[in-house]
Structure 1
């Protein structure tokens, strides 16, 4: 019998709140999600901030690259009105702010931090992220992931205990070999991989398999049967209603 699948809020409750904002993460805490997923970039002055894109154009009223702004400048931009005017006071949070929120929310929520360093190679990002996690006292609750496999290897060199996961698309046949190379202890995939023969082999080998981004509850049964550890969704509330799985 399968264990219940954990439900992670993708960029917070991003189906109902502006993604990667404190409002979205607070909502995830309120509904009792098992975890949140968020993305980090780095500012000009080395602050780790929570935003998906390398540029701020899509989710704020500003224009330009995150790396070209100091954090105090980024905080001036509106990161919520693009979603709905009622969120006009939302800003780009720092990673430290989000970790502190989860730490003080009196929950056992896990935090999946995706390092967005596969497009821009932010020098020192691994060290900065690890410092934030250590300051928050959440070493046992954090999972670090990236499409940049070398970055996860670097993270393992910095701390041998932190949980790391490789992010990938499609159905690669050699993903366990890649994980072994950088000593990653988790895999984050699309649903198609999870239900494939290759996906089932990774589960049998003991790798936690977390699936992104699943927004239809009719896929939950198949994923649970495949041994998926968690699914990452824009609408965690919908899946929490079905958390009586196993099948």
Structure 2
């Protein structure tokens, strides 16, 4: 079973920052999950929330700032003073960093294109990905937004896609088949639902966010493909 670092090693480092990704990689994780939003000047940036106040010293929406303005914010001090000075990464920065590593891992890019619609996000993402060699085997694009996954499929039907779900959704498999989704990423409630059990026999299942070692053993018994965790150090040891 694969271990993905949820927003990097976010249990002990500020989420979605380069230090969180670096430390997760050093642990030997199989993959890293991150989230992208888009700035007003069209840069894809790595941050979970549509608003910046939870994880930076700024106030407002990502969409209302230029990339240069966002880079001036502190994205680490909120977690602990010793991380003050960490910055919001551009997605390109993360991809460059991964390209320089000796060991290949999976990068799960979650498109946060639901609460706020970022026009052209999917096109920008795929244009960026196509500028890197051998990315197809190491990138998974995921989203809760069905529309976002559908647009990715229209642009490039061969992209590895994952459908994010919460709880039980009756039409999950029908849509997954329609756009050639290979994985479904769901919570525990989805996994144990009737639809979750049916889906696990047809596609790969990744469960988020698993921080309980006892739950990890249960998931191993259920033949889950991967788990996402804030504490990959605990899960890798298991």
Q: TM-score range by the shorter chain?
A: over 0.9
Correspondence for 2:145 among 139, 144, 148: 148
Offset of 1:195 from its aligned partner? 3.2
Is the 1:7–1:232 Cα contact (8 Å) retained in structure 2?
A: yes
For structure 1, which segment, 126-135 or 39-48, has the greater mean C-alpha deviation from structure 2 after superposition?
A: 126-135
Structure 1 CA distance for aligned equivalents of residues 7 and 25 of structure 2: 12
Correspondence for 1:72 among 53, 57, 68: 68
Partner of 2:198: 201
Matched, 1:189 2:186: yes
Structure 2 CA distance for aligned equivalents of residues 197 and 157 of structure 1: 30
For structure 1, which segment, 172-181 or 9-18, has the greater mean C-alpha deviation from structure 2 after superposition?
A: 172-181
Matched, 1:88 2:89: no
- Please state whether the residue corresponding to 1:26 is helix, strand or coil: helix
Matched, 1:20 2:16: yes
Matched, 1:107 2:107: no
Offset of 1:177 from its aligned partner? 1.1
List runs of 5+ in structure 2 lacking aligned partners.
none
Offset of 1:197 from its aligned partner? 3.5
Between the two proteins, the alignment pairs up a number of residues equal to 237
Partner of 2:228: 232
Structure 2 CA distance for aligned equivalents of residues 231 and 126 of structure 1: 25
Report Cα offsets for 1:150-192 as digits up to 9, x if no partner. 1101101111211001111002232101212333221010022
List runs of 5+ in structure 1 lacking aligned partners.
243-247
Is the 1:50–1:93 Cα contact (8 Å) retained in structure 2?
A: yes
- Please state whether the residue corresponding to 2:199 is helix, strand or coil: helix
TM-score (normalised: structure 2): 0.96
Is the 2:166–2:189 Cα contact (8 Å) retained in structure 1?
A: no
Is the 1:149–1:182 Cα contact (8 Å) retained in structure 2?
A: no
Is the 2:157–2:180 Cα contact (8 Å) retained in structure 1?
A: no
Is the 2:11–2:230 Cα contact (8 Å) retained in structure 1?
A: yes
Report Cα offsets for 1:14-70 as digits up to 9, x if no partner. 000000000000001110100000000000110000000011111001111111111
Correspondence for 1:174 among 171, 185, 190: 171
- Please state whether the residue corresponding to 2:210 is helix, strand or coil: coil
- Which segments of structure 1 move beyond 4 Å, counting only runs of 4 or more? none
Please provide the CA RMSD for this pair.
1.1
